[in-house]
Homo-oligomer: A and B are copies of this chain.
Amino acid sequence: MACPYFAEKSRPSDIQSKSLENRQSIDASQSDHNNGIINENQLSYKTYLKIPQLLSAQSLLSSEGGKVTPVHDEHLFIITHQAFELWFKQIIFDIESVIKVFDCEYLEERNTLCIIQRLDRVSQILELLCNQFPIMETMTPQDFLEMRAYLAKSSGFQSMQFRLLEIKLGVCDELRILYNKVHYTDVFFGEEKDKIFKARTEKSLLDVVNNWLERTPGVEANGFDFFGKYKSAVNGMIDQNKAHAEACKDLAKRQLLLEECQSQVDTFATLFDENLHDKLRAKGNRRLTHKATLGALFIYLYREEPRIHLPFQILQRLMDIDSAMLKFRYNHACMVQRMIGSKIGTGGSSGYMYLRSTCGDRYRVFPDFMNLSTYLITRDRIPPLSAKYKHGMSIHNWMEDLSSSKDDGDEESGIHSAASHPSPT
Task: List 6 interface pairs A-B (beta carbons < 8 Å), by A numbering.
Answer: A45-B159, A54-B86, A72-B423, A142-B303, A263-B346, A270-B345
Contact partners of A112 in chain B: CB under 8 A: 306, 309
Known: A85-B49, A89-B55, A301-B419. A151 touches B1 (CB 8 A): yes
Contact, CB under 8 Å: B399 / A415: no
Is A199 part of the contact surface with B, judged by Cβ < 8 Å? no
Contact, CB under 8 Å: B376 / A389: no
Contact, CB under 8 Å: B388 / A414: yes
* Contact with A151, one of B43, B373, B385 (Cβ below 8 angstroms): B43
Contact partners of A172 in chain B: CB under 8 A: none
Contact, CB under 8 Å: B7 / A345: no
Residue on B nearest A342 in the bound complex, by CB: B371
Cβ proximity bits A114-143 to B, threshold 8 Å, 1 near / 0 not: 100100110011011001101100101111
Chain A residues 46-80 with CB under 8 Å of chain B are 46-51, 53-59, 61, 63, 65-72, 75-79
Is A150 part of the contact surface with B, judged by Cβ < 8 Å? yes
Question: What's the minimum C-beta distance from A308 to chain B, rounded to whole angstroms?
Answer: 8
Contact partners of A248 in chain B: CB under 8 A: 31
Question: What's the minimum C-beta distance from A312 to chain B, rounded to whole angstroms?
Answer: 7
Known: A7-B355, A156-B7. A267 touches B346 (CB 8 A): yes
Contact, CB under 8 Å: A417 / B19: no
Is A42 part of the contact surface with B, judged by Cβ < 8 Å? yes
* Contact with A5, one of B134, B159, B267, B301 (Cβ below 8 angstroms): B159
Is A227 part of the contact surface with B, judged by Cβ < 8 Å? no
Is A420 part of the contact surface with B, judged by Cβ < 8 Å? yes
Contact partners of A405 in chain B: CB under 8 A: 387
Interchain CA distance A342-B190 in the complex, whole Å? 43
Is A370 part of the contact surface with B, judged by Cβ < 8 Å? yes
Contact, CB under 8 Å: B244 / A14: yes
Question: What's the minimum C-beta distance from A220 to chain B, rounded to whole angstroms?
Answer: 12
* Contact with A12, one of B72, B260, B306 (Cβ below 8 angstroms): B260
Is A210 part of the contact surface with B, judged by Cβ < 8 Å? no
Chain A residues 188-209 with CB under 8 Å of chain B are 189-190, 192
Interchain CA distance A49-B417 in the complex, whole Å? 47
Known: A110-B304, A257-B14, A260-B14. A344 touches B280 (CB 8 A): yes
Contact, CB under 8 Å: B13 / A152: yes
Interchain CA distance A245-B383 in the complex, whole Å? 65
Residue on B nearest A378 in the bound complex, by CB: B16
Question: What's the minimum C-beta distance from A402 to chain B, rounded to whole angstroms?
Answer: 5
Contact, CB under 8 Å: B86 / A82: yes
Question: What's the minimum C-beta distance from A274 to chain B, rounded to whole angstroms?
Answer: 14
Known: A43-B152, A112-B309, A145-B376. A302 touches B33 (CB 8 A): no
Chain A residues 147-188 with CB under 8 Å of chain B are 148-161, 179-182, 186-187
Known: A68-B22, A370-B342, A379-B419. A114 touches B304 (CB 8 A): yes
Contact, CB under 8 Å: B155 / A45: yes
Contact, CB under 8 Å: A389 / B409: yes
Chain A residues 202-226 with CB under 8 Å of chain B are 224
Contact, CB under 8 Å: B374 / A387: no
Chain A residues 346-390 with CB under 8 Å of chain B are 346-348, 350-352, 354-355, 361, 367, 370-390
Interchain CA distance A145-B23 in the complex, whole Å? 14
Contact partners of A186 in chain B: CB under 8 A: 38
Contact, CB under 8 Å: B9 / A180: yes
Question: What's the minimum C-beta distance from A137 to chain B, rounded to whole angstroms?
Answer: 9
Question: What's the minimum C-beta distance from A173 to chain B, rounded to whole angstroms?
Answer: 18
Contact, CB under 8 Å: A148 / B11: yes
Is A3 part of the contact surface with B, judged by Cβ < 8 Å? yes
Question: What's the minimum C-beta distance from A272 to chain B, rounded to whole angstroms?
Answer: 12
Please list the 3 inter-chain residue pairs (A to B) with the smallest Cβ-Cβ separation, ordered nearest first: A5-B156, A8-B351, A341-B374
